[in-house]
Amino acid sequence: MSEAFLPVLAGHAEASEVAPPSTPRNVPYRGGAANPSADALRAQFGDAIHRVDVVWAETTVYVDRARVAEIVRWLHDDPQQRYDYCSDITAVEFRDLDRPIEVVWHLRSLPFRRFIRLKALLPKGQPLVVPSVYDIYRGADWLERECYDMFGIRFEGHPDLRRLLMWEQYKEGYPLRKDFPLRGRFSRSEQLRQILAQNPEAKYSMEELTVLEAFNDLPGDMRQRLGKGEQVGE
């Protein structure tokens, strides 16, 4: 993290004759033009790409759940794709008991102005495990922790997969699953008794809150600027 910070200009990798973005009109519900990355994915990974859906001009690619990390790594690194921003990781569970749980990755390529949605299907009754993309996007850290907290999906390779929204000793299960009752599994008095027994200070480590240590992780030019002391006021 020592090189200078370079701003990414949206669309700068596209050919120069491409028109600037405008609001799309007359977009078909299904069957619009797919994101060019979908064909590239098929060519690169073949069987690992199960299906490509285009809904309202947004491309959804159903991929093999065991090869997600590999596919995302390729999308991130390939000079013709450059998906450099992971905007969301979440999951969907359906009321239908036979329908598998879907894990969803929203990836965006700023240089090519592209958006792609990856989905992996996790059948019910099997362990809910998918590979983590933490190594590729550091921003996936809390997204995967939230997904684990709410759905119980384990991201293999995540260095610190703890609950994020609920407290760590939460015993009632995974709140966004369909079999979870709206008011929780325990009575209100039991919920209150358990939470009041928590120690609020125990949730923070002082290392996470140390500003001085974070200083060394800043980009070089910012460190140099801040090292001189910022000028305040006139």
Partner 1 sequence: MGLDTRRVETGVDVSPSSSESWVTTRLDFLVNWGRANSLWPMPFGTACCAIEFMATAASKFDLARFGMERMSFSPRQADVLICAGRVPFKLAPVIRRIWQQMPQPKWSIAMGACASSGNGIFDNYAVVQGIDTIIPVDVYVPGCPPRPEGLMYGIMMLQEKVKKERMADKSLRNEMEPDPSSQLYIPPQLIDELSENFGNSVHQTRSGL
Any contact of residue 175 with partner 1 (CB under 8 A)? yes
Q: Which is nearer to partner 1, 28 or 173 (CB)?
A: 173
Measured CA distances, 188 to 184, 185, 191, 192, 195 (Å): 9, 9, 5, 6, 11
Least distance to partner 1 from the beta carbon of 49, Å?
Answer: 38
Structure-block tokens of residue 111: 């240089």
Any contact of residue 32 with partner 1 (CB under 8 A)? no
Structure-block tokens of residue 22: 């405008």
Q: Give the x-and-dash track for 195-214 against partner 1 (CB under 8 A).
A: xx-xxx--------------
Task: Please give the Cα distance from 116 to 19 (Å, whole number).
Answer: 20
Buried b (16+ CB within 10 A) or exposed e, 1-36: eeeeeeeeeeeebeeeeeeeeeeeeeeeeeebebbe
How many chain residues bind partner 1 (CB under 8 A)?
24
Options 51, 138, 171, 185; binder of partner 1; rule CB under 8 A: 185
Any contact of residue 193 with partner 1 (CB under 8 A)? yes
Task: Tell me which stretch binds partner 1 (CB under 8 A): 20-28, 89-97, 118-126, 184-192.
Answer: 184-192
Options 48, 85, 191, 223; binder of partner 1; rule CB under 8 A: 191
Structure-block tokens of residue 82: 């450059």
Q: Which is nearer to partner 1, 24 or 200 (CB)?
A: 200
Any contact of residue 178 with partner 1 (CB under 8 A)? no
- Which residues of the shown chain bind partner 1 in the complex (CB under 8 A)? 165-167, 172, 175, 180-193, 195-196, 198-200
